[in-house]
Structure 1
Amino acid sequence: MSQPQEITIPTVTLNNGVQIPQLGFGAFQVPPEETQRIVEGALEAGYRHIDTAAAYRNEAGVGAAIAASGIPRGEIFITTKLRNGEQGMAHQAFQNSRQALGLDYVDLYLIHWPVPAQGLFTEAWKDMEKLYANNQIRAIGVSNFLADHLDTLLPAADIVPAVNQIEIHPAFQQQELAAKNRSLGIAVEAYSPLGQGADLAAATVKSLAAKYGATPAQVVLAWHLSQGTIVIPKSVQAARMRENLGSAAVSLTPAEAAEITELESGARTGGDPAVAAHSQM
């Protein structure tokens, strides 16, 4: 299987020099029994960055798709995440994920949520630093970390996180948090990049889609890409997968990107990291 020649996906260089494809495929809510088929479809479409998590319970399907694809391992970037309920046993949790994926190493490993009530994310980070030092992970990072969580973590850390994966879409941009991450050298990665579809109905988005002969999703993803944000849209439909990849060919002007930025309304769609405490077990 070879990546379609007409698709050129930009990359982002992380703070340790590792390159990550800026546009990836998210496996959130992909049913475990369908994961291999769907991820094989994503790889066939041209994705070379797959994002999963232990909490999604579909790591084995992702691994099976990688094995079946015939694509050299070094050409695929794999992210998985530490369950909230396993922050006190990060080393073993990582080994379980790696074995489920059937991989010798993982490209990016993230603390899925800070769960500040547990007070364990710094301990988990220190374990992840050891895994990184042993070359079992190419880059380590966090997800859903707010400014105060970073302020707690960084003084105790020897390694600055490479990535912070947070909810970002036109209606919920977390601009101050994103700017803080970038100022620290932490790449910003957006989940729910389309606002779970709600942001696609905005008149500005639909107007730009008509102007460029693009889909509303392609316009919103192009907005993310224009800001240097890593983005991981999810779709189980092959045609939609290909459409989302096509966003890399849409170039918005700065003025057009600014129009989309004006859609900020504070409309969070996911949990609040300040209080979220689900175990994910």
Structure 2
Amino acid sequence: MATPSKKPKKNETETLEFVNEPVSEEYKYELIPESFDYRFLGSDYSHGIKELLQQLFLKSDIDLGQLTDMLIGQIGIGSLIIKDLSEESMAVYDENTVFAVTSVLNLTADKENFCIKQLYSLLERLTAQHAREKDKEAITKILQQNYKIGFLIHERLVNIPRDVSVPMFHALRNDIDEVKKTNDAYDFDYLIIISKTIRPKVGRRRQIFTNQEEQLFYRKAKWTFDFNVEDESDFVFADWLPKEKQWVPFRRVTIFKASVFRDIVDTQNNGNASP
């Protein structure tokens, strides 16, 4: 991901107000009916998975094809959703469209793979450029020492209701619990997630998660920092709107202890997906 033209102000993360509200009334999408089919990740859906990853990573130097193959290759970990499309929907989506994907990538066990090296390089660079000074040493230590790290993937199309995430996170928690019985590489010490967020270009300093359910990870964060991706995004909230209605796309890196993942999932299952 490209470096923003201006560095975040010191302690900028701490002064933001996080808001639980729709992304924008001007761009309110019609929700697709919630008749979804949950499936394991499979090669038939590799193109759709890659497209969802692209909306997160944008122009970063990550081999998304290899990343997709690695996610699919982790048999029994993660899920995606598709749906039977109406004739009207077929004009927009094809039968292999992936509407959401949730999984975890084992950064430690697969450290020698090219795209994992790229991910480590990206995270280390972003930490050096955007993390608070007091956090840089600790985050770098997590990335460079022998901690077991999972990279949490959770992407969905913008017009998909966030409620689909509840069974997906629940299934992922169970998948990890099952796999680590025979492979302790999945008994993670830390999980990392990069979330899509937006901020108003002018006015009140607030920040909104595009996937609002990911606010729960932020609330459990051990370390977190933000970076601007305006220069590499085709974000729809663009400069044809008045300045007071313009939004700027950001990404938020959140690192949290894997032991709290179960609590986060339980919070969602109890109907409290919004902090």
The interval holding the TM-score normalised by the smaller chain is: under 0.3
Give the TM-score normalised by the residue count of structure 1: 0.27
Q: Relative to total residues, which structure has the larger strand share, 1 or 2? A: 2
Give the TM-score normalised by the residue count of structure 2: 0.27
Larger RCO (CA under 8 A, 6+ residues apart): 2
Q: Relative to total residues, which structure has the larger helix share, 1 or 2? A: 1
